[in-house]
Structure 1
Amino acid sequence: MKKSINKEVREFIDCLCKTNPLNHQIIIASRKVVFDNYPNAKERIMYGGILFSLEEDFGGIFAYTNHVSFEFSVGFKFNDPDKLLEGKGKFRRHLKLKSLEEVESKKLDFFVKQS
């Protein structure tokens, strides 16, 4: 996995490694999904998490005590045949990731490709 060029992102990830190793692994795996699909994506710290953008923001990862949330800026538009996305807001939808396995089982790659 490539190391972030953004110093704040690197510090966020390093701190998480020490404070919540499981969420650290989930975030590393989620970043890999993003950069496998969008090698030129930019990332920055905002709202207490990592935001991803191409021409504009498309999503972000946020660590909570018992899970990681991957938020999609326009998730309401996504094809979600298995009803995995959560949220009832006007635009945003998210996946709650509570284990490393859920990065795959909740089809993060499928949704990132729709971003």
Structure 2
Amino acid sequence: MKTTRTIHPDFQFLLDFKDQEIIDLFTDLREYILELYPDSNELVYHTHALTAVFSISDKLSDAFCMLPIYTNHLNLGFNKGTLLKDPDKLLTETGNLIRHIDVKKPTDYRNPKAKALIKEAIDFAIKDMDKPTKSIGQTISKIKKK
């Protein structure tokens, strides 16, 4: 099932500067996340990376995953990755909280193990949320225009 949610124009403008292979991977992975949790809010940022963050509310603190796009690669990041069960050892990095899966091809995330991890992250975020959200299925740009 394909979502019809368009990429925010602020984000699309910056995304268009990336290599087509990265754009295609991002677009497919974004679609996959939105298929798994259509009610997620997408917060888009441009800091050290061009990043789409998927949250169960309009707050970054309620995010369950993120897709940071760097110069030549992107990751499927989990905001509270150290708190997730990861029996298949898919997650990498050594920070206090964030973990990620390196994404080089669709099979890196379109597989039962990654799908289970994404669903666990969604369930964790829902249980961990402080108060109900008023925003459902929105795309919110946090990109500062120059």
TM-score class, shorter:
0.7 to 0.9
Following TM superposition, by how much is the alpha carbon of 1:71 offset from its aligned partner in structure 2, in angstroms?
1.2
**What does residue range 1-115 of structure 1 map to in structure 2 within 5 Å?**
1-4=3-6, 6-13=8-15, 15-16=16-17, 19-46=18-45, 47=47, 48-55=50-57, 56-105=62-111, 107-115=113-121
- Which one-letter code corresponds to 1:2 in the other structure? T
Change (3 A) 1:3 1:32: same
SS at match of 2:32: helix
Structure label with greater radius of gyration:
2
Following TM superposition, by how much is the alpha carbon of 1:5 offset from its aligned partner in structure 2, in angstroms?
6.1
- Quote the Cα distance in structure 1 between the aligned partners of 2:29 and 2:118: 10
Following TM superposition, by how much is the alpha carbon of 1:10 offset from its aligned partner in structure 2, in angstroms?
3.4
Hey, which bits of structure 1, 4+ residues long, moved more than 4 A? none
- Quote the Cα distance in structure 1 between the aligned partners of 2:14 and 2:37: 21
- Give the RMSD, CA atoms, in angstroms: 2.1
Matched-pair contact (CA < 8 Å) for 1:43–1:52: yes
- State the TM-score, normalizing by the size of structure 1: 0.81
- Quote the Cα distance in structure 2 between the aligned partners of 1:41 and 1:105: 21
Q: Percent identity?
A: 23
Stretches of structure 1 lacking an aligned partner (at least 5 in a row)? none
Figure out how many residues of one structure are paired with residues of the other and give that number.
Answer: 112
Stretches of structure 2 lacking an aligned partner (at least 5 in a row)? 122-146
- Quote the Cα distance in structure 1 between the aligned partners of 2:24 and 2:113: 16
Matched-pair contact (CA < 8 Å) for 2:29–2:106: no
Following TM superposition, by how much is the alpha carbon of 1:107 offset from its aligned partner in structure 2, in angstroms?
3.8
- Quote the Cα distance in structure 2 between the aligned partners of 1:39 and 1:23: 23
**Which residue is equivalent to 2:132?**
none
Deviations, residues 48-83 of structure 1 (Å, cap 9, x unaligned): 211111122222101223321111111112121121
